Amino acid sequence: MEPILQLKEVSVSYAPGTKAVKDVTTDIFPNTITAIMGPSGCGKSTLLRAINRMHDLYPNIKTTGEILLKGENIFNFDPMEVRRMAGMVFQQPNPFPTMSIYENVLAGYKLNGIKLDKKEKEEIVEQSLIGVALWDEVKDVMSKRGSFLSGGQQQRLCIARTLALKPEILLMDEPTSALDPISTNKIEELLLELKNQFTIIIVTHNMSQAARISDNSMFMYLGELIEHGNTTQMFTKPKNKRTEEYLTGVFG
């Protein structure tokens, strides 16, 4: 199988001479969930944000190396195009507070200046909300603000907003850490369904979550990728001593 995403010697620096991410090289395969694990400050979120060029928003942050999405270097594209192809879901649910549920789902189109007719809008909204198992819960209150929803519903709305643009990859930065266990379970079940259509990369502090839902795992430490492979194999027979120490609670 051909990888959908290839990272080649990817480094990210917040200041000259200091790398928050150091020369990461790895492949991500289609229709899989990859968990990025590691202690706080090890570069997990920094690496995730490099994949959809969020660092371009800050002139002091420098990203080097190659990131190939379906064989094409993302640095040859307009950043907005990259963010459509690699959609991001954040730790805190962040529906746009002044927009209705309906408008939230379509926000990416509005921000990108993409015009849709009424029928297209209604179809995208319905399919996106069905895709995150939220349609039945909100179809009668579509004009209410997104902030009216519970935390778990808000996060599913944010995922729907990302899915609406039909990305290749879903990037998720600890998407359940602000949620209660029931909402967390719903999101995890949702991700297992979504991987049939999308490739998912999730940053998580929760090792049991990584074990439950990911096909592959990456372990990062001090900005370096220490190990990347099949999750079950990594959890039962890690190849690197530092991976084993992290998974057994020696540090982190």
Per-residue pLDDT tens for 167-188?
Answer: 999 999 999 998 999 999 999 9
pLDDT at res. 252: 62
CATH of the domain at 186: 3.40.50.300
Q: Is residue 158 part of a domain?
A: yes
pLDDT at res. 17: 86
Taking only Cα atoms into account, the Rg of the chain, rounded to an integer number of angstroms, comes to: 18
Mean pLDDT of the chain: 95
Structure tokens that stand for 144 in this block: 């209410």
Q: Is residue 146 part of a domain?
A: yes
- The 10 Å Cβ neighbour count of residue 105 is 30
Structural domain including 83 reads 5-247
Structure tokens that stand for 241 in this block: 């001593």
pTM for the structure as a whole = 0.94
Q: What total of structural domains would you count in the chain?
A: 1
Q: Is residue 58 part of a domain?
A: yes
Q: Is residue 173 part of a domain?
A: yes
Q: Where are the alpha helices (DSSP H) in 86-206?
A: 101-105, 107-111, 118-131, 135-138, 151-163, 181-194
pLDDT at res. 109: 94
pLDDT digits (tens, 9 = 90+) for 74-124: 999 999 999 999 999 999 999 999 999 999 999 999 988 899 999 999 999
Q: Is residue 252 part of a domain?
A: no
